[in-house]
Amino acid sequence: MSESARKQRIAVVDDALVLRRIVSALLEKDYDVTAFVGGKDFLESSAPFDLILLDIDMPGMDGYEVCRRLRAREEGGEVPVIFVSGHDAAPERVAAYQAGGNDFIIKPVNADEVRHKVGAILTQMAERRQLAHHSQTASKVAFEAMTNMGELGAVMDFMRRSAACADAASVANCVLAALLPLGLSGTVQVRMPSGKVNYAASGQATPLQDSVMDSLCSMGRLFIFGSRGIVNYDHVSLLVLDLPTKDEARLGRLRDHLALLAEGAEARLAAIAATDTIVRMHDEVTRTLQALRHTLAETNRRAQDARQNAQRQTIDTLEGLGRMIQSFSITDIQRETVEHTIEDGIEDLLRLYDVASIAETDFSRVVTMLERMALERAL
């Protein structure tokens, strides 16, 4: 007999002293036995019992009535009752079961029968309690699983909706909306290249919430303090209120869910930041190329004006020099030589101007290629 069985308490209710002593002697080795002389004494006792051996024929209040009153009590509804009677007729047995009895023993009692029935009923009750415990545990596990599925559903819905967010404010509001199905509220801080902003369920955070977020964003990846907790990533911090500190199982699940929410928000914000950086760089490159093209066009215009002026000035000078030579006292051969030299010089100057024009065209082509590359990178 196990230690728990030896501690089980049994009540023997019988007006016959001899029967009380016999039954007590049979059971007291393995159980804690208490004897009562009548039903009234038993019902007035506040001690709890695991099993009751109840005589039927007793003065004042018979066993049937005692059992009915016991069953009417909240604490007596499940206590097994074995009736003990000298009558073995069917009406007595039926009345015993109708009153709420679990079994029936005939007087004079048989020691083996008493021990067997008491042990069998107590074992059955223990198995029933164990089964009820397993059932409650299974129900609790099933309920927690369903709750967890519902909570995970909120997280998955956030992942789906956050993928469509195009800016940091949308991501922050998406996180705050995901807290509602979890029974939580909080504040979200997003940190982007353009700056940091705090968001609350009511809109932009208050100055007090701003200061709280600034002081907690360096507390590590996950920090729980009382009923509050914060999750920190490079681009986002999520401060949550109203954590269930008395429900360790739910608190553990929520820690995991909040980490997933913050991680998902971090991934989306990092992507938005990268896209913003690319767009900003493209805009800067575009503006630079536009300025370069404008500068090149202006330079070309000025260079062309200068080239034309230089050409005219050079040609005028050389032509004037040719006219002057006509008045010199030189031979025809010398004059032709000088004129050819002047003509060759003019042609060389024009070729040099053409080379400069080609270089300007090539440079303009390079700018066009850079603009096309910038556009392709943006797409």
Q: Answer whether residue 139 is part of any domain.
A: no
Question: How many angstroms separate the CA atoms of 152 and 165, rounded?
Answer: 20
261 membership: H or E segment, kind and range: helix 248-326
User: What is the pLDDT, as a whole number, of residue 340?
Assistant: 75
pLDDT digits (tens, 9 = 90+) for 220-266: 888 888 888 888 998 888 888 888 888 888 788 888 888 888 899 89
Domain shared by 118 and 214, yes or no: no
- Number of structural domains (the chain) is 3
Question: How many angstroms separate the CA atoms of 78 and 74, rounded?
Answer: 9
Decide which of 89, 104, 134 is a domain's last residue: 134
Q: Answer whether residue 272 is part of any domain.
A: no
Question: How many angstroms separate the CA atoms of 160 and 154, rounded?
Answer: 10
Domain shared by 170 and 129, yes or no: no
Domain shared by 130 and 154, yes or no: no
Domain shared by 107 and 23, yes or no: yes
User: Domain containing 170 — which CATH number?
Assistant: 3.30.450.40
Three-class SS of 151-186: HHHHHHHHHHHHCCCCCHHHHHHHHHHHHHHHCCEE
What's the domain range around 226?
144-267
Decide which of 267, 292, 322 is a domain's last residue: 267
12 pLDDT above the threshold of 90 = yes
User: Domain containing 16 — which CATH number?
Assistant: 3.40.50.2300
Domain shared by 298 and 205, yes or no: no
pLDDT digits (tens, 9 = 90+) for 35-52: 999 999 999 988 899 999
pTM of the predicted protein model = 0.48
- For 220: left if phi > 0, alpha if psi spans -120 to 50, otherwise beta; the answer is left
In terms of Cα–Cα distance, which of 179, 180, 197 is closest to 189?
A: 197
Domain shared by 101 and 163, yes or no: no
Distances (CA, A) of 154 to 147, 169, 182, 265: 11, 19, 8, 14
Across 276-287, average pLDDT: 73
Residues 109 and 117 sit within 8 Å (Cβ to Cβ): no
Decide which of 204, 238, 267 is a domain's last residue: 267
Q: Answer whether residue 208 is part of any domain.
A: yes
Domain shared by 43 and 9, yes or no: yes
Share of the chain above pLDDT 90, in %: 22
Domain shared by 148 and 261, yes or no: yes
Domain shared by 199 and 260, yes or no: yes
